[in-house]
Amino acid sequence: MENIVLYIITLFFILGAIDYLIGNKFFIGEEFEIGIKTMGPLAISMVGILSITPLLSSIIEIVISPIAKNFDIDPSIFSSSFIAIDMGGYNIASSIANSSEFVIFSGILMSSILGCTLSFTLPLALGLVKEKYMDSLTKGFLCGIITVPIGLFIGGLALKIDLKSLFINLFPIILLSVILSIGIMFKPKVFIFIFNFIGKVIVCISILGLVIQGISSIIGIKIIENIMPLQDTLYIVGKISIFLGGAYVMLKFIKKIFDKQFNKLEKIFGVNGDTISAFIGSFASAIIVFDNFHKLDEKGRVICSAFSVSGAYVLGGQLGYVASVEKEYMILYIFIKILSGILAIIFALFILRREDKNRKIINTEEAS
């Protein structure tokens, strides 16, 4: 099944390349170009952190593993909660996880959902979204974070992880989700500072790794012996960029073909056209949602924020990364991320309906 997905994306990659050569006549050549041009930004954010993942793995193993062992928790759970899959989450998990099942559970599923949210999506959203829309953003993120353990539980079952072990390892995630939810609800400014700080720390570590790799590459001086070879890091970045050259074309094609169906979704969910466009775009990148947050209606802002916690990037760079490291788990990755995103939307709609109902009751009481 995963090969079928890759063949489809390869076909769109070829079509995008042809359209690029003939002058973007079918408006997919530009998507091909955008995908390939992600190589630069991806290299800045990924090469450094990937370079020093062997060192980070050693540190985490020394510091975290003994604590995790006392509670029968896999050490990869801790790193994958805060580091995105393509920013070292998978590499670290593959080095410190106690079993192959937890390499996938933590390194693929968890780091692509919770790790990505805390290290990238949330700091990104807080930087792009205006203050007046913060209530909608926090409400959406709350709905997304609360439903994360459900999606991961289903993912754990699919990986045939022992139920007792799964519950024990999900406990820190449930606890973290509860703390995050309470924090975002009651102390948003404090948590905004914390998330921004986490994001900046990861960026600093990434750039430090890039400098170490750069010195080694340019003048041959190895500051740290235990670093990933430059060719290995660039291979991953290059593979993701080429993958995006096909994935972005595929998303453009889907938008064009199913335009009428997407218009029906506007009526079904009671949202504007910009919300549907941002939602579809988030399958490639959450940047599309938060960069256009002001264009979405109130309902759309909450729904898209909720979905972005788990569902964002599902057909973007993350899928490209999964295809390069664990191709056989692509379908599981797609299924769990979309399922978790849908659960977040359902919960968000439930909260919005309840709020609307309470508002109507209050208005009726005030009128009488």
**What local confidence, expressed as pLDDT, does residue 59 receive?**
85
Q: 56: closest CA among 83, 92, 104?
A: 92
Query: Rounded to an integer, what distance in angstroms lies between the CA atom of residue 302 and that of residue 148?
Result: 16
**What pLDDT sits at residue 277?**
86
Backbone angles phi, psi at 221, to 5 degrees: -90, 120
Contact 306, 345 (CB under 8 A): yes
pLDDT in tens, the chain (368 residues): 567 888 898 999 999 999 999 999 999 999 999 989 988 888 887 888 889 888 888 888 788 888 888 889 999 998 898 888 988 899 999 989 999 999 999 999 999 999 998 877 887 787 788 888 988 988 899 899 989 999 999 999 999 999 999 999 999 889 988 887 787 677 767 776 776 777 678 778 889 999 999 999 999 998 988 888 999 999 988 988 898 899 889 888 888 888 888 888 888 888 998 899 889 989 988 888 988 899 999 999 999 999 999 999 999 889 999 998 999 999 999 999 999 999 999 999 998 998 888 777 777 766 66
Q: Locate the domains of the chain by residue range.
A: 2-357
Residue 79 in tokens? 């790193």
pLDDT for residue 205: 86
* Residue 154, burial from CB neighbour count under 10 angstroms (0-12, 13-18, 19+): middle
What's the start-to-end Cα distance of the chain, in Å? 61
- Are 162 and 127 in contact, with CB atoms under 8 Å apart? no
Global pTM reads 0.83
